[in-house]
A and B are shown apart, each in its own frame.
Chain A
Amino acid sequence: MTRRRTLITAQRILTQLKHDPRTIGLVLAVPAGLVGLLAWSLLHRPGQFNALGPRLLGVFPLTVMFLVTSVTTLRERTSGTLERLLTLPVAKGDIIGGYAVAFSLVAMVQSALVALLSYTVFGLHHVGIPWRSSLVALLSGLLGTAFGLALSALATSEFQAVQFMPAFILPQLLLSGLFVPLGDLPLGLRQVADVLPMSAAIRALQPNETVSGALLQSAVMLGYIGAALCVGALTLRRRQP
């Protein structure tokens, strides 16, 4: 794996995005728009928005980046470009790393925009820790990217890749504690919920979470990101059976 080839691949992916302004608009505007919609709908219950809003900063980047990455990577797998790349003197890590770098940058811009709008326009007053929200939102976007890279190997069409969103993201959302407090879940579900990546993101963003607790949850998310990137690299095969 070389840094040069990784960065060239990241640049190529960002150039592809540049030629597709509609996708850029959707990736950046949809999460911010959804948080804005929530703020508006809870206009008369500001306390509730302050409780829910920060936690959604961990949900939206994960969901959007998962979708964007899984469809983009699947396109690479099915169009023949991935096979062509793997006939060149290129390491699998160059390709996976390129995707991770490119979409990290997108996730960074996306999470910064959502956090900025949440705190300045939508009236979020989270107790003094916008840096924490921004960091977790970024890690959440990276989680989506890493899982999108890995799971795209299971899809053979873009339709299937899109179906992984309800199959992979929604169960995590249901068990994340947003709808039912984690303590109220039945024992088996509680144990599953405790180890889900999205739960770590949401826990890190809870108002009563300590700084060390938030850092621990961030480390858990980093572990998931690393593991998913490794699985993603394993799914790239130079030789087809």
Chain B
Amino acid sequence: MSPGVVVDHLVVSRRAHPILHGVSLRVAPGELVGLLGPSGSGKSTLMRTLVGVQAFQSGRVLVDDLPVGSPALRDRIGYVAQSPASYRDLTVEENVRYFAAMLGVEARDASRVIDVVDLNAHRHDLVSSLSGGEINRVSLAVALLGAPRLLVLDEPTVGLDPVLRERLWTVFGHLRDQGLAVVVSSHVMDEAARCDRLVLLREGRVIFEGGPDLLLTTTNSSTYDNAFVALVRSAP
């Protein structure tokens, strides 16, 4: 058995429009991988494939040696989608408790994850009354419920202030240290430094894979923004 994520030659097309062109990827347990790339590069499609909600044309996608979409994986993957998947007409606590009950975990776990994402002060507020960043944190709380082995987080820090971003990246680091495989997408290049490994996508193809330091040295850049621009310009 090979735990973690295995993606081999993944091809995804939507309405005959190619999105991913033979992407391959490995994420080991205890590894935090950053998925970076401009809008439309295929990050969200790759993440949706990892959680089993996106059909694909060819290739192999396994999580803990099981094909994605397998029923056995449904309580092992925590997922934050790009759209905030929460009920606007329920309170924060009602949302998280509902998903906890559907996942089959205890109600007290709902309190734990609300605390982790720092929403205690808003637990009795309707989601419709929250800011965009706070709504994203409700989705993140739901993703942390139970004991996931893989976390797939699609731009979880978008719209958050720097203090909270710092706090959440610390949480991601702790989860990685506990042995979870964590895949985080971001378009904030400075967040690249917090990842163990980076995968840069452009137009559905991997144009770089390696550690943050290697990205800087390969491109002879001093900032991640410059490194990414240099890579995109040099890509065929």
Could you mark each residue 1-23 of chain A with 1 if its beta carbon is under 8 Å from any beta carbon of chain B, else 0?
A: 00001001100100110011000
Residues from chain B with Cβ under 8 Å of A79 in the complex: 83, 85, 87-88
Q: Could you say which of A5, A86, A90, A239 contacts B54, with CB atoms under 8 Å apart?
A: A239
Answer yes or no: B90 CB below 8 A from chain A CBs. yes
Q: Is the CB of A86 within 8 A of B53?
A: yes
Q: Is the CB of B102 within 8 A of A20?
A: no
Q: Is the CB of B87 within 8 A of A12?
A: yes
Q: Could you say which of A15, A83, A85 contacts B102, with CB atoms under 8 Å apart?
A: A85
B45-96 residues with Cβ-Cβ distance < 8 A to A are 48, 51-55, 69, 71, 74-75, 77, 79, 81, 83-90, 94
Chain A-chain B contacts (Cβ-Cβ < 8 Å), number:
76
Q: How large is the interface on B (under 10, 10 to 19, 20 to 34, 35 or more residues)?
A: 20 to 34
Residues from chain A with Cβ under 8 Å of B75 in the complex: 88-89
Residue on B nearest A8 in the bound complex, by CB: B101
Q: Is the CB of A88 within 8 A of B102?
A: yes
Q: How far is the CA of A83 from the CA of B87 in the complex (A)?
A: 13
Answer yes or no: A186 CB below 8 A from chain B CBs. no
Could you mark each residue 104-119 of chain B with 1 if its beta carbon is under 8 Å from any beta carbon of chain A, else 0?
A: 1000000000000000
Q: Could you say which of B69, B83, B103 contacts A88, with CB atoms under 8 Å apart?
A: B103
Residues from chain A with Cβ under 8 Å of B167 in the complex: none
B1-30 residues with Cβ-Cβ distance < 8 A to A are 14
Q: Could you say which of A19, A87, A90, A240 contacts B77, with CB atoms under 8 Å apart?
A: A87
List residues of A whose CB falls within 8 A of some B CB.
Answer: 5, 8-9, 12, 15-16, 19-20, 79-81, 83-90, 94, 238-241
Residues from chain B with Cβ under 8 Å of A88 in the complex: 74-75, 99, 102-103
Answer yes or no: B142 CB below 8 A from chain A CBs. yes
Residues from chain B with Cβ under 8 Å of A240 in the complex: 48, 53-55
In angstroms, how far is the closest chain A Cβ from the Cβ of B18?
A: 14
Q: How far is the CA of A80 from the CA of B77 in the complex (A)?
A: 17
Q: Is the CB of A87 within 8 A of B55?
A: no
Residues from chain A with Cβ under 8 Å of B85 in the complex: 79-81, 83-84
Instruction: Indicate whether A80 sits within 8 Å of B84 (C-beta atoms), given known contacts A8-B98, A87-B52.
Output: yes
